[in-house]
C-alpha cells in the first residue's frame, strides 16, 4: 500500500517534451473559421480517433479533393466539407495561431479518454481525445494546459488528468454521486429503454480524506524506512515526503480499513467506489461499483481488492468496503466470448436475477468481452457477477466472422485506389451492408467492380436481414454519376441505402426501364438513368445526343467545326477514338465528343441502306438544317457555311445527303453546285501610280517586244558600218554599251543595251538614230505594259487569268473522286486523289495548285524520283536501304537532282508515295504559300511591300502561271474558287 500510492503520484506527473513540426507556411488570409454542423471523428496518422463535438470552431484550409483540413501537431486532418459551415471571426473572437509561433513546454500522454474545452473558464466541450494520445503543450495556468488544434488554442483541464492544483486537491477521487433515472424492467426484448445517465465521481468526502491521508502516510512511511523498492502495480519510484502530521493522519485512516483475510471471497461497498484498470502501469478509472452491492474477490494486493472485469483485473480500494457473505443470485459461471464491446457513454450494469438492479457503471472507452447476447442487451462479467448492458450504450468490435454491419449515421464511402482516400458517396443511417473484408479500422465493401472503405467508427455488427443481397455479376457497361445520386433498394418499396457523388464510375448489373441496377455494399441498388451517363463499349453502334453537339472535321490535324447534331436525335457510330465517336459526314469521317451523348438502340427509320454518293457536290451558303423526312420533316443536324458535301440524289427542290449514316435532306436554296467564286478584296493604302513607280524602280522584264521597232544612236563612235551601201545593212557596236530606246530621243524608254562587238541589223537612219527591230529577248518593260499586268481591274474574274488572285491557302473543296479524274493516267500519281485531299486539308493549301506543282516536277508522274529510289547512303554515311519517293522535287538541285532529292526524302521518311505527297505538301506550303504571298499575284508583285521580295521579274509571270491550273479546273465540275483581289486608292 505504501509503495503503491507513492508510485501513483509519480506516474501522474511523468511528462515528456518533444519538438513541434511546422505546418506549411500558409497566409492567415487563406484560413477560414468553420463550425462543425454535427459531431464527427478524425483519424490521426498513428490511428487514434479524435472526436469533434457539434458546434466546435476551428480554422481550416481547402484541399485538392474539396475537403477541409484541420492542423494538429504537424498533421493535416481531413474533414468532409458537408460537416462544416463558415463561422464569423469577429463574433467568436478566436485568435489565429500558427504552430511555428509557439514553443512546446511539455508533452502529456493521456491516460484515459479526455474531454477538450475551448477555454478554461466557460468549459464548453469541443472534442474528446482518446487514451494514449500525446498532446504537445505550449502554455499552462492553475487549472489547465493549453495546446493547438485547428490553429487555435484549446484547453486540457488538469483535474481531468488527476493532477493536484495548489497541492490542495486529491490525486484520486472516490466520490461518485449518482443520478438515477427510471430503470428498465427486463433485459430481454425489443422495447427501447432510455439510457440511464450517471455521474462517474460518486464517493463520500470521508473516503476522499481517507485516501489522501493514506497516500501521504504511505509516502512518509516509505521515506522514513528508506524503502526504495518499486510499487507492486505502478512500478514508479518514491519521490515525496509529507509532514509528520500527515503521516499520523494517514495512520489513523489506515486503521479504519476493515481487515480482510484470504478466506474472504466477497466484499460489500459502503459507497459508490471507483473501479481502476492498471494494465497500462497507471491507474485508469473505468467505472464505479454501487453502494450496498456485493462483489466477488479474485485476489488482493496491499490495500486493494482484485475483481474480474470481463477478461482483465479491476482494482477496488479496500477503504469503504467490508467482508461480506455470498448472497448473490447472479454469480457468473460462464466464459467470455470472443466478441468485444466498447462503451460509448456512461453505462449502468444491471443484475436481472430479481428485477433490474444496478450494481456498477462503466465510463466511455471501456472495452470488454461479452458473455452473450439477449435481445437488446449484452451480458458481461463485473465483480464475478453477470451484468446486463443495454446495446445502444456500446459499440461492438468486429471479428473476422462478422459479415455484415449497420451504419449508425450517413457515413462516407471512400475509394483508395489512387493511394489517397477519395469520397465517392455515403451510406444511409440505419442500413445494413455486407463486408468483404477489413483493414485496420476500416470495413471493405463492394462498390461495383472495386472496393470501398468505411470507417468502423459509427458502425456495429449486424445480422443479415437483407432482401436485396447481390448474387449477380457486373456487366461491361460502365455508368458515370453526373450529380449526387441516391441508390435504392426496391425489394420492399423504394428505400434509399446509399448516395454516390458526381464523377463516380461503376459497372451496372442490368437495365430496368429508366433504372440501372448496381452493387453497393453487396446489395442490389437502383439508380435513375438521368442521373448518370453510360460509358460506351465497342459493341454500341448507336448513340443519342443530349445536346446540340458540334460535328468536327479532323483531316487537317485540327478540329474544324462543320456542323451540329440535334438534341435528342440518334446517330450511327462507325468507330471511336478515345473520347470521340466517328460518324459518316458525306464521304469523310467526322468526330463527335462522347460527353453529352449516351448509348442508344437503333430506332431510326432513315438509316442509309447503302446508297452511294454521286459526283455532284454541294457547298453550303448559310447555316443549313438537315431533315429526316421518313415520318415528317424532323431536323437532325445543321451544316456550317462553306462546307461541301457529295449528293446522294435529288428530290424536287431538295438534295439528299448522308450524315450520321442517316439520309437527310437539304433545300437547294441553301446550297450551290458547280463552279462557285467567292471574291474578297484587300485594300492597300497607296495608289496604283505609287505601285507602278515602285515596280518600275526595279526594272521589270518582259519578252513581249520581239520585232518591235527601236532606236540606237547613229554616232560613228558607237556603231561601225559600211555607209556606202543602203539599208538594211549590218552594224557592229563599238561602244562598251549602247542603249536601245523606244524613240529617237535620249529621254525615250530604254529597252536594254547592246554590248561592244554585238552585231545588229540596221533598218534605216532617222534624225541621227538607226532604226532596228528587236529580236526575242528579255527587255525592260514599259510603264504602260507593266500597268496592264499590275492593275487588277484589267482582269475579268470569270477569265482564266483571274486565277492569279486565287487564294492558294484555301481548298477548292474538290472531292477525292474528281481529283482522281485529274490524276488518271498520270503514272505513280494515278488514283492518289485521297492523298492530295488530305495534304490540302492538313496544310491549308489548294489541292489543284498542289497537283499542278506535282505534275510539273514529276513529269506527269513519270520521273525517277517520283517512282522511287533505293537509298543506302545519306550525306556519305551508310544507312539501312529503303525505297523513298519525292513528288515535288524538294532539294532536287540541278547538279544532283536524283541523289539530293532522294536523300532528302530518306531523311523525311517518305517511304510511300502517299507519305511523299502529304509530307512534301508541308514544304510547298511553307516555301510558297504561308508567307503572306498566298496568291500568284502576291508572289509576283508583293503589294504588301511593292518592289521587294518578288518571286519573278517577268511582268507576265502570274498571268502565265494560271494556264496549267485552268486546264486542271476544266477537268472537274464541282469546285469553289476563293479570290483575294487587291484594291488601290
Quick: pLDDT tens for 248-262. 344 444 446 888 998
Contacts 24+ apart (CB under 8 A), 34-39: 34/58, 34/59, 34/60, 34/68, 34/84, 34/85, 34/86, 34/87, 35/84, 35/85, 35/86, 35/87, 36/79, 36/83, 36/84, 37/82, 37/83, 37/84, 37/85, 38/83
Q: From CA 392, how far away is CA 492, in angstroms rounded?
A: 26
pTM: predicted TM-score of the whole model, two decimal places: 0.49
DSSP H/E element including 218 = helix 205-225
Tens digit of pLDDT for each residue in 644-683?
Answer: 999 999 999 999 999 999 999 999 999 998 888 889 999 9
Give residue 28's pLDDT.
57
Tens digit of pLDDT for each residue in 260-281?
Answer: 998 999 999 999 999 999 999 9
β 617-620/671-672 pair status: antiparallel
Residue length of the chain: 985
Q: What does the pLDDT average to over 933-958?
A: 92
Tens digit of pLDDT for each residue in 552-586?
Answer: 999 877 899 999 999 999 999 999 999 999 999 99
Give the residue from 214, 317, 314 showing the smallest Cα distance to 271.
317
Q: Can you tell me whether residue 739 is helix, strand or coil?
A: strand
Tens digit of pLDDT for each residue in 733-785?
Answer: 999 999 999 999 999 999 999 999 999 999 999 999 999 999 999 999 999 99
Can you say whether residue 28 is alpha, beta or left, with left for phi > 0 and alpha for psi between -120 and 50 degrees? alpha
Q: What does the pLDDT average to over 426-442?
A: 96
Q: What does the pLDDT average to over 851-879?
A: 95
Q: How far is CA 924 from the centre of its chain?
A: 41
Q: From CA 294, how far away is CA 808, in angstroms rounded?
A: 108
The residues with which 619 forms a beta bridge, in sequence order, are 644, 672
Computed over every residue of the chain, the mean pLDDT equals 85
Listed in sequence order, the residues at least 6 apart from 558 whose beta carbon sits closer than 8 Å to its beta carbon are: none
Give residue 64's pLDDT.
55
Give residue 20's pLDDT.
28
Give residue 121's pLDDT.
59
Q: What does the pLDDT average to over 460-475?
A: 94
β 975-984/675-684 pair status: parallel
Q: Can you tell me whether residue 840 is helix, strand or coil?
A: helix
Q: What does the pLDDT average to over 373-383?
A: 95
Q: From CA 620, how far away is CA 346, in angstroms rounded?
A: 81
Helices (H) and strands (E) counted in the chain, each on its own, are 14, 76
Cell numbers linked to 171: 490525486
Tens digit of pLDDT for each residue in 605-628?
Answer: 999 999 999 988 898 999 999 999
Q: Check whether 17 has a pLDDT greater than 50.
A: no
Listed in sequence order, the residues at least 6 apart from 239 whose beta carbon sits closer than 8 Å to its beta carbon are: 6, 9, 10
DSSP class of 529: G
**pLDDT greater at residue 27 or residue 360:** 360
Q: Can you tell me whether residue 245 is helix, strand or coil?
A: helix
Please work out, in degrees rounded to the nearest 5, the angle formed at the alpha carbon of residue 951 by the alpha carbons of 946 and 957: 95
Asked whether the beta carbons of 972 and 821 are under 8 A apart, the reply is: yes
Q: Where are the domains of the chain?
A: 4-161, 205-396, 404-534, 542-673, 705-780, 790-984
**pLDDT greater at residue 333 or residue 43:** 333
Cell numbers linked to 349: 450494469
Q: From CA 59, how far away is CA 32, in angstroms rounded?
A: 5
Give residue 33's pLDDT.
84
Give residue 510's pLDDT.
95
Confidence of residue 447 (pLDDT cuts 50, 70, 90): very high
Q: From CA 393, how far away is CA 730, in angstroms rounded?
A: 133
Please work out, in degrees rounded to the nearest 5, the angle formed at the alpha carbon of residue 36 by the alpha carbons of 32 and 37: 125
Tens digit of pLDDT for each residue in 918-936?
Answer: 999 999 898 888 878 899 9
**pLDDT greater at residue 841 or residue 590:** 590
Virtual torsion, Cα 909, 913, 918, 924, nearest 10 deg:
90
Asked whether the beta carbons of 34 and 69 are under 8 A apart, the reply is: no
Q: Which CATH class is domain 705-780?
A: mainly beta
Give residue 169's pLDDT.
33
DSSP H/E element including 636 = strand 634-639
Cell numbers linked to 549: 453537339
Q: What does the pLDDT average to over 894-916?
A: 95
Asked whether the beta carbons of 388 and 352 are under 8 A apart, the reply is: yes
Amino acid at each position: 500500500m505504501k509503495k503503491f500510492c507513492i508510485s501513483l503520484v509519480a506516474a501522474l506527473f511523468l511528462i515528456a517534451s518533444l519538438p513541434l513540426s511546422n505546418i506549411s507556411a500558409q497566409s492567415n488570409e487563406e484560413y477560414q473559421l468553420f463550425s462543425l454542423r454535427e459531431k464527427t471523428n478524425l483519424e490521426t496518422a498513428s490511428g487514434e480517433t479524435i472526436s469533434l463535438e457539434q458546434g466546435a470552431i476551428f480554422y481550416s484550409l481547402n484541399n485538392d479533393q474539396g475537403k477541409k483540413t484541420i492542423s494538429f501537431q504537424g498533421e493535416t486532418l481531413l474533414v468532409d466539407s458537408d460537416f462544416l459551415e463558415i463561422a464569423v471571426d469577429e463574433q467568436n473572437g478566436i485568435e489565429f495561431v500558427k504552430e511555428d509561433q509557439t514553443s512546446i513546454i511539455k508533452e502529456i500522454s493521456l491516460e484515459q479518454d479526455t474531454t477538450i474545452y475551448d477555454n478554461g473558464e466557460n468549459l464548453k466541450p469541443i472534442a474528446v481525445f482518446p487514451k494514449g494520445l500525446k498532446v504537445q503543450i505550449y502554455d499552462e495556468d492553475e487549472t489547465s494546459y493549453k495546446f493547438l488544434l485547428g490553429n487555435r488554442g484549446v484547453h486540457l483541464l488538469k483535474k481531468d488528468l488527476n493532477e493536484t492544483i495548489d497541492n490542495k486537491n486529491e490525486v484520486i477521487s472516490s466520490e461518485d454521486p449518482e443520478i438515477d433515472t427510471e430503470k428498465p424492467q427486463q433485459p430481454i426484448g425489443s422495447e427501447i429503454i432510455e439510457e440511464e445517465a450517471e455521474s462517474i465521481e460518486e464517493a463520500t468526502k470521508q473516503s476522499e480524506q481517507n485516501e489522501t491521508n493514506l497516500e501521504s502516510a504511505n509516502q512518509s512511511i516509505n521515506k522514513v524506512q528508506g524503502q526504495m523498492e518499486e510499487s507492486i502495480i505502478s512500478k514508479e519510484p518514491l519521490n515525496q515526503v509529507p509532514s509528520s502530521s500527515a503521516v499520523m493522519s494517514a495512520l489513523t485512516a489506515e486503521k479504519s480499513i476493515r481487515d480482510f483475510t484470504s478466506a474472504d471471497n466477497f466484499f460489500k461497498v459502503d459507497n459508490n467506489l471507483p473501479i481502476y484498470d492498471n494494465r497500462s502501469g497507471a491507474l485508469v478509472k473505468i467505472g464505479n461499483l454501487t453502494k450496498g452491492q456485493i462483489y466477488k474477490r479474485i485476489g488482493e494486493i496491499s490495500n486493494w481488492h482484485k475483481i474480474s472485469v470481463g477478461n482483465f483485473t479491476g482494482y477496488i480500494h479496500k477503504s469503504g468496503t467490508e467482508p461480506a457473505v455470498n448472497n448473490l443470485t447472479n454469480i457468473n459461471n460462464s466464459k467470455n466470448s470472443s466478441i468485444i464491446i466498447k462503451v460509448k457513454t456512461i453505462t449502468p450494469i444491471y443484475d436481472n436475477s430479481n428485477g433490474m438492479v444496478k450494481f456498477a457503471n462503466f465510463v466511455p472507452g471501456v472495452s470488454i468481452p461479452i458473455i452473450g447476447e439477449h435481445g437488446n442487451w449484452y451480458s458481461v462479467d463485473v465483480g464475478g457477477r453477470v451484468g446486463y448492458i443495454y446495446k445502444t450504450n456500446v459499440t461492438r468490435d468486429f471479428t473476422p466472422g462478422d459479415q455484415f454491419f449497420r451504419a449508425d449515421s450517413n457515413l462516407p464511402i471512400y475509394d483508395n485506389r489512387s493511394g489517397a482516400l477519395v469520397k465517392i458517396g455515403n451510406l444511409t443511417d440505419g442500413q445494413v451492408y455486407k463486408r468483404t473484408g477489413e483493414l485496420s479500422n476500416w470495413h471493405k465493401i463492394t462498390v461495383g467492380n472495386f472496393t470501398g472503405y468505411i470507417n468502423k467508427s459509427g458502425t456495429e455488427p449486424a445480422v443479415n436481414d437483407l432482401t436485396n443481397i447481390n448474387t449477380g455479376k457486373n456487366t461491361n457497361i460502365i455508368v458515370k454519376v453526373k450529380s449526387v445520386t441516391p441508390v435504392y433498394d426496391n425489394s420492399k418499396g423504394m428505400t434509399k441505402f446509399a448516395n454516390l457523388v458526381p464523377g463516380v464510375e461503376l459497372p451496372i448489373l442490368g437495365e430496368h426501364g429508366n433504372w440501372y441496377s448496381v452493387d453497393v455494399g453487396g446489395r442490389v441498388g437502383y439508380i435513375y438513368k438521368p442521373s448518370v451517363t453510360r460509358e460506351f463499349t465497342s459493341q454500341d453502334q448507336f448513340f443519342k445526343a443530349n445536346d446540340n453537339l458540334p460535328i468536327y472535321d479532323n483531316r487537317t490535324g485540327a478540329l474544324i467545326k462543320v456542323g451540329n447534331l440535334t438534341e435528342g436525335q440518334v446517330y450511327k457510330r462507325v468507330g471511336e477514338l478515345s473520347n470521340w465517336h466517328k460518324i459518316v459526314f458525306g464521304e469523310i469521317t467526322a468526330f463527335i465528343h462522347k460527353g453529352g451523348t449516351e448509348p442508344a438502340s437503333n430506332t431510326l427509320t432513315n438509316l442509309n441502306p447503302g446508297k452511294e454518293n454521286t459526283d455532284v457536290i454541294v457547298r453550303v451558303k448559310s447555316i443549313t438544317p438537315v431533315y429526316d423526312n421518313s415520318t415528317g420533316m424532323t431536323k437532325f443536324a445543321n451544316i456550317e457555311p462553306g462546307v461541301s458535301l457529295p449528293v446522294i440524289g435529288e428530290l424536287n427542290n431538295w438534295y439528299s445527303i448522308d450524315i450520321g449514316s442517316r439520309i437527310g435532306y437539304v433545300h437547294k436554296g441553301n446550297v450551290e453546285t458547280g463552279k462557285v467564286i467567292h471574291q474578297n478584296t484587300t485594300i492597300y493604302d497607296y495608289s496604283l501610280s505609287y505601285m507602278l513607280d515602285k515596280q518600275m524602280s526595279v526594272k521589270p522584264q518582259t519578252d513581249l517586244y520581239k520585232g518591235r521597232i527601236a532606236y540606237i544612236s547613229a554616232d560613228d563612235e558607237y556603231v561601225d558600218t559600211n555607209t556606202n551601201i543602203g539599208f538594211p545593212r549590218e552594224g557592229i557596236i563599238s561602244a562598251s554599251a549602247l542603249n536601245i530606246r523606244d524613240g529617237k530621243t535620249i529621254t525615250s524608254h530604254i529597252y536594254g543595251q547592246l554590248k561592244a562587238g554585238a552585231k545588229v541589223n540596221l533598218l534605216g537612219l532617222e534624225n541621227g538614230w538607226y532604226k532596228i527591230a528587236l529580236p526575242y529577248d528579255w527587255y525592260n518593260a514599259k510603264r504602260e505594259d507593266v500597268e496592264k499586268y499590275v492593275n487588277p481591274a484589267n482582269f475579268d474574274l470569270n477569265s482564266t487569268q483571274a486565277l492569279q488572285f486565287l487564294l492558294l491557302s484555301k481548298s477548292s473543296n474538290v472531292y477525292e473522286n474528281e481529283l482522281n479524274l485529274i490524276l488518271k493516267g498520270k503514272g505513280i500519281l494515278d488514283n492518289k486523289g485521297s492523298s492530295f485531299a488530305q495534304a490540302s486539308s492538313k496544310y491549308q493549301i489548294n489541292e489543284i495548285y498542289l497537283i499542278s506543282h506535282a505534275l510539273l516536277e514529276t513529269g506527269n508522274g513519270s520521273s525517277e524520283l517520283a517512282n522511287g529510289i533505293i537509298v543506302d547512303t545519306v550525306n556519305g554515311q551508310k544507312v539501312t536501304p529503303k525505297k523513298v519517293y519525292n513528288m515535288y522535287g524538294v532539294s532536287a538541285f540541278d547538279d544532283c537532282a536524283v541523289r539530293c532529292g532522294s536523300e532528302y526524302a530518306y531523311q523525311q521518311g517518305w517511304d510511300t508515295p502517299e507519305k511523299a505527297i502529304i509530307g512534301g505538301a508541308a514544304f510547298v506550303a511553307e516555301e510558297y504559300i504561308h508567307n503572306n504571298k498566298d496568291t500568284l499575284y502576291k508572289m509576283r508583285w508583293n503589294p504588301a511591300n511593292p518592289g521587294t521580295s518578288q518571286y519573278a521579274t517577268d511582268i507576265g509571270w502570274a498571268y502565265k502561271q494560271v494556264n496549267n491550273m485552268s486546264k486542271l479546273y476544266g477537268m472537274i465540275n464541282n469546285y469553289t474558287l476563293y479570290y483575294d483581289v487587291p484594291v488601290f486608292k
